[in-house]
Chains A and B, each alone.
Chain A
Amino acid sequence: MKRTPLYEVHRNLNAKFTEFGGWEMPLQYSSIVTEHLAVRSIAGLFDLSHMGEIEVSGQGADELVQKLSTNDVSRLSDGRVLYTLFCNETGGIVDDLLVYRHADNHYMLVVNAANIEKDLAWVETCNDTGAEVKDMSEDMALIALQGPKAIDLLNPFVPERDVSEIPYFRFTTGDVAGVPTAISRTGYTGEVGFELYVPAAYAERLWTAVGGQPVGLGARDTLRLEAGLRLYGMDMNDDTNPFEVGLGRFVKFKNRQFIGKSALLAHKRKGITKHIIGFQMLDRAVARAGYAIYQGDERIGSVTSGTPSPSLKCSIGFASIESQAVPENEKIDVEIRGKLHPAIIVEVPFVSIGT
């Protein structure tokens, strides 16, 4: 298994480890609930160095990134970040990712850890523009600071600027605790926060300087679910299209060409037969991925992600439902160990958030 530059730091913090996408990552340090609630009330520090960073630069980079992305990358100015999908020719989702625009013909793509090789191969396959594609994943560490106090906690380490002035989905470069850093106002928790990209050799220095409650992948999953954020490999994959998983707003058809466009237009015309809904359990049972969803006697879908919600003290989840539109407040049942447990369809995000 692969390890991040902070592996020894996690060991010394007595982390419990888990395998995730080929990486040996901290699952939890104290308890998932404690770490989760720390992020919701103060802030938490995450090692996300398993995420992949791909640099696309040189002549043709603008064209290549635009062609790969369902979202319109041409709308990005320097220092902005865009959430987008890469789709294949049939409209299936190759990955979901962030596109960072440094300058004309200079981008960083931040992709899911389990998809780094697949994405690199895909980008290379589609690269007929002559752009230079470079895997920076090994050289770069990613540390996130997320929570309502993230701004106050980060500011003392950033002498050159007030980080509260970095708007959501923008980034800037500067020193953090003396470490050259790309400071990005982004995150996967629904809270105010930053993602800090640093050279791998400086990861420990930055981690130790910023400090705070370390948070493992266990709470990362409960936080993202409460915030209504999808996870590649659970809620979407190569065989699902963006409309089926509620990400249609990140597909921009107008005045542009991109890979998968004609297939996605056809899907849209034909009508979408599957939808992702958010649900909340009405008893204390826990719905987990793969469990069947029923309405009356009819099986209408399956859970794609499910977890107890530390903030709501009940279980929540996403389910893929075979139907045109399922109204909120509709009652459904989740089959858990052979018994039906009641749940209700709710609006996502499950908790109100403040990015």
Chain B
Amino acid sequence: MEYPEGLRYSREHEWVLVENDDHAVIGISDFAQNELGDVVYVEAPGLGEKISKDDPFGAVESVKAVSDLYAPVSGTVVEVNDTLPETPELINEDPYGEGWIIKVSMSDVAELDDLMNPEEYEAYCEGQDDDDDA
């Protein structure tokens, strides 16, 4: 399982990459794609739509289940990954790269402080694995 440096992670398994000042790229983590299995459909908001921290902003459908996407930060959508409708499997193949979902202009960069760093997130995921085995 990969937990790249330089990203921040939410408890709902989204990652955030801050590109410059207030622009952030959002996707789902390697842990999340592995739990979901084969992704077949991504429902993402359109350009200009607002997302707000901890609220659902879309959904990822795998063969086995549907999983809501929760906004790790608040902001306005400035870019949508338009390759995902045709190739949703990019989320499995490259969750931190070509499988990114949206880019937002953040409305409150202080919200980033609530997210986990890679080490914290890795420990968090390992705790969830233990829950699964229980």
A319 within 8 A of B: no
Q: Which residues of A contact B63 (CB under 8 A)?
A: 32-33, 218, 222, 307-308, 310
Q: Which residues of A contact B64 (CB under 8 A)?
A: 27-28, 32, 218
Contact of B37 among A218, A307, A315, A337 (CB under 8 A): A218
Given A33-B63, A307-B63, 10 more A-B residue pairs with CB atoms under 8 Å apart are A33-B38, A218-B37, A218-B64, A285-B41, A286-B40, A308-B40, A308-B41, A308-B63, A310-B38, A337-B43
Q: How many of chain A's residues have a CB under 8 angstroms from any CB in B?
A: 16
For B92, the closest partner residue in chain A by CB is A31
Minimum distance in angstroms from B63 CB to a CB of chain A? 4
Q: How many of chain B's residues have a CB under 8 angstroms from any CB in A?
A: 12
Q: Is the interface of A mostly helix, strand, loop or mixed?
A: mixed
Contact of B38 among A32, A288, A337 (CB under 8 A): A32
Q: Which residues of A contact B46 (CB under 8 A)?
A: none
Max chain A CB contacts within 10 Å: which of B37, B43, B59?
B37
Q: Which residues of B contact A33 (CB under 8 A)?
A: 38, 63
Contacting A at CB under 8 A, from B22-51, are 37-38, 40-41, 43
Chain B residues engaging chain A, CB cutoff 8 angstroms:
37-38, 40-41, 43, 59, 61, 63-64, 66, 85, 88
Q: Which residues of A contact B85 (CB under 8 A)?
A: 284
For B58, the closest partner residue in chain A by CB is A337
Minimum distance in angstroms from B71 CB to a CB of chain A? 16
Chain A residues engaging chain B, CB cutoff 8 angstroms:
27-28, 31-33, 218, 222, 284-286, 288, 307-308, 310, 315, 337
For A310, the closest partner residue in chain B by CB is B63
Q: List 21 A-B contacts (CB under 8 A).
A: A27-B64, A28-B37, A28-B64, A31-B37, A31-B38, A32-B63, A32-B64, A33-B38, A33-B63, A218-B37, A218-B64, A222-B63, A284-B85, A285-B41, A286-B40, A286-B61, A307-B63, A308-B40, A308-B63, A315-B40, A337-B43
Q: Which residues of A contact B37 (CB under 8 A)?
A: 28, 31-32, 218
A239 to B88, CA, bound (A): 39
Minimum distance in angstroms from B101 CB to a CB of chain A? 15
Contacts across chains A and B counted by CB atoms under 8 Å: 38
Minimum distance in angstroms from A24 CB to a CB of chain B? 11
Minimum distance in angstroms from A49 CB to a CB of chain B? 21
Q: Which residues of A contact B38 (CB under 8 A)?
A: 31-33, 308, 310
Minimum distance in angstroms from B89 CB to a CB of chain A? 9
A31 to B35, CA, bound (A): 11
Q: Which residues of A contact B41 (CB under 8 A)?
A: 284-286, 308
Q: Which residues of B contact A31 (CB under 8 A)?
A: 37-38
A3 to B9, CA, bound (A): 36
A19 to B93, CA, bound (A): 27
Q: Which residues of B contact A27 (CB under 8 A)?
A: 64
A33 to B59, CA, bound (A): 20
Top-8 shortest CB links A-B? A308-B40, A286-B61, A32-B63, A33-B38, A284-B41, A308-B63, A31-B38, A218-B64
Minimum distance in angstroms from B41 CB to a CB of chain A? 5
A31 to B38, CA, bound (A): 7
For A308, the closest partner residue in chain B by CB is B40
Q: Which residues of B contact A288 (CB under 8 A)?
A: 66
A285 to B66, CA, bound (A): 10
A219 to B130, CA, bound (A): 25
A33 to B38, CA, bound (A): 7
Minimum distance in angstroms from B3 CB to a CB of chain A? 20
For B85, the closest partner residue in chain A by CB is A284
Q: Which residues of A contact B61 (CB under 8 A)?
A: 285-286, 308
A288 to B38, CA, bound (A): 16
A28 to B63, CA, bound (A): 11
For B59, the closest partner residue in chain A by CB is A337
For A217, the closest partner residue in chain B by CB is B64
A284 to B88, CA, bound (A): 10
For A219, the closest partner residue in chain B by CB is B63
A225 to B13, CA, bound (A): 31
Contact B40 A284, beta carbon cutoff 8 Å: yes
A308 to B88, CA, bound (A): 13
For A283, the closest partner residue in chain B by CB is B41
For A314, the closest partner residue in chain B by CB is B40
A337 to B57, CA, bound (A): 12
